[in-house]
Chains A and B, each alone.
Chain A
């Protein structure tokens, strides 16, 4: 970084004024007997974005904290951070190359969509059953393994989308059966410590599935062929708008996207739309949402929460399986492949707010963007990608400091 002193000075300024703003504004609203629910967060944001110039008027006027007040100062914080970064490191490729930046954003969005889909499954399980499944990564792994074995070993030449559907069906069935066999003791008080029991039993399932796959198929890496291989094509002739090769699409000579990833993102978006349709347009989906909102009220209306538990766990596992099924064409696959994505999903659902479905998906997109920004823009190349898992954790820590329920979480 060329002007690191300037960068860190501004960051220090933002942190100090953010801290002052947080306590000052909450104090002002409290003393005037106003609603203090969002006062601290707004104070932090206004302080960090504007320093004393915004804090003093806010302290004196104490306006009603509308949605604009809750969002605009945070956009100001983000803008100030980006501006400071650009001025501090003008030679950084994120600052100097628009095409690189656009590519990174596209890449972050694509990966974020898939992260979001996987995290959505975990959030669905948590919102209905109230447990965190530690076997989520293994369902992701199984989804990929099913697609590989179907398309490359058992039925080569078959349409890979059929294999994806088989992966979804298998992961749904395994999840639903597991829920019936092992999670029902949680609901009727047959175990003394239901939370600990759910952790242990899902951990057990994770190990069982991982070593079952390793025992059956070995531990060597496998990879499915790309679902679609594009022909070489240019439009116009110089390819300045779109150029395709077997495994890559280039848009406007600027955005480079790998075809397997794009395909994975497209399938994920379609699956997401189908899930939204299911949750909002079908009786089963509405019943699931009703159970998530109020379990007892839903039972009074004739919805059987036990069936919904099974459906939720099966669907959650299926979403993880689907994410794996579409990514096995992009990555080499091993029985241990699910560990990192599962960890990332835990971070995402806490970031988005435990139990919040929109929060899980938006958290996934955020995670994709954060990782792309970190890998692309951190000035030191020996650290940019090496610290990849840490970027999400840093953002998660900051969010939890300001909003312990996560971005879209509700208080219990």
Chain B
């Protein structure tokens, strides 16, 4: 009798253990979404990402869901703050029981929260966190669609070198895990090209730049590169323009939230001739998928185009959904295995993660930062050339391979 009881208990225990993934797949399947929805985070970017992630989930559910279950998106507000990022990641995992997490805007939030997800075995596909260290420590459950900060810095440095009459550059950067390494890497690239560079740093969410703008003005730079996020970038650009060193007076690269045309022109009426980086396929190279997403996004938000971070956020959810389907399970390890082997045709292009556990950075002969990194997010520089212009109509001015218009150099 005792033996029979023990055998039954063992079978029950084994069944429970084997059923654990299936239980985790109880409907609906929850996917977390990180977005900054309050200051000092980039609220404009956060709202765009939330809208894009909701579109992704609606499309998934309209197509029958994942593993036969509807998907529920749980969006949390990171506020752009690392401590808040850790707290909401904990909440997503322990209270909301999400099976994976997408989205994410600020690098400092990504760096602070990714360890929690990795320790809990919950896969994260970061959408817009650029810091190289997000992937450089090769955590098993961490993936990224956004470009590496070092790659963007190289683009900026090369762009500055290609601009006429640029001998002195000022970089204005936020003192975060995004701003500090990005500005340092950009300076390295510029100084290798013989361009003198000064970095000014400010707190995230800075509102009043007047003191530092007078100082930059006294420096007489030929070009200003912004490594800021959110509303701080709007404030800096407009205040610089009011002080006579705006994008209409010298060459200036603005933060990519300048791509939010309506918000940009309302907050920066003197922002014409701003250069902005844009992640993802250039408009001329849009695939059917990109065009369809943009149409859905425009209909949902009333904007005139989809921004880089919206595209990345959409793809981060879609790629997770496809990975769960391919894994046939919501188990974290199974999702990671599926992500490592995935080939997903997204709005950013065909997404793969070629540097992974079966093709490590050492085996591939590349730096560790390429671990679980989407290698091909196209990076272009576009420029507003008419006041009030839509970012869709703003021509791509760099690099040459994607160029759709000639840049207007304010200093010429």
A interface, CB within 8 angstroms of B: 93, 97, 100, 103-104, 107-108, 111, 152, 214, 218-223, 225, 245-248, 256, 258-261, 330-332, 334-337, 339-340, 371-372, 374-376, 381-386, 388-389
Contact = CB atoms under 8 A, between A and B. Distances in A.
18 contacts: A214-B38, A219-B47, A221-B267, A256-B243, A331-B207, A332-B207, A332-B231, A337-B39, A340-B205, A340-B207, A372-B210, A375-B210, A376-B211, A376-B214, A381-B198, A384-B215, A386-B175, A386-B201
A337 B232 CA distance: 11
Interface string B20-49: 000000000000000001111001101100
Contacts of B267: 221-223, 332
Given A219-B43, A248-B244, A100 B211 contact: no
B206 A385 contact: yes
Best-buried of B202, B214, B263 by chain A (most CB within 10 Å): B214
B214 A337 contact: no
B215 A222 contact: no
Nearest to B79: A336
A163 B52 CA distance: 36
A219 B37 contact: yes
Given A222-B267, A334-B231, A374 B43 contact: no
Nearest to A222: B266
Given A331-B235, A336-B38, A385-B202, A221 B43 contact: yes
The 3 closest A-B pairs by CB, nearest first: A375-B211, A336-B39, A258-B242
Contacts of B296: none
Nearest to A210: B38
Contacts of A223: 234, 238, 266-267
Given A220-B47, A247-B270, 17 more contacts: A107-B211, A219-B47, A222-B266, A247-B241, A256-B214, A332-B231, A332-B235, A334-B43, A337-B207, A340-B207, A372-B211, A376-B215, A381-B198, A381-B200, A381-B201, A382-B199, A388-B202
Contact of B211 (A259, A339, A385): A385
Given A256-B243, A258-B242, A384-B212, A389 B203 contact: yes
A113 to B, nearest CB: 13
A222 B175 CA distance: 24
B208 interface: yes
Given A219-B43, A336-B38, A336-B39, A371 B211 contact: yes
A375 B215 contact: yes
Contacts of B244: 245, 248, 256
A100 B243 contact: no
A382 B200 contact: yes
B83 to A, nearest CB: 15
Contacts of A340: 205, 207
B211 A104 contact: yes
Interface residues of B, number: 42
A332 B218 contact: no
A384 B200 contact: yes
B239 interface: yes
B300 to A, nearest CB: 15
B409 interface: no
B43 A220 contact: yes
A221 B234 contact: yes
B403 to A, nearest CB: 31
A93 B214 CA distance: 10
Nearest to A96: B218
B215 A382 contact: no
Interface in B232-281: 234-235, 238-239, 241-244, 263, 266-267, 269-270
B278 to A, nearest CB: 20
B214 A382 contact: no
Contacts of A258: 210, 239, 242-243
Contacts of B44: 220-221
Contacts of A222: 266-267
B159 interface: no
Nearest to B270: A247
A286 B44 CA distance: 48
Contacts of A260: 242
Nearest to A103: B214
B209 interface: yes
Contacts of A225: 269
A93 B219 CA distance: 9
Given A381-B200, A382-B200, A385-B209, A221 B242 contact: no
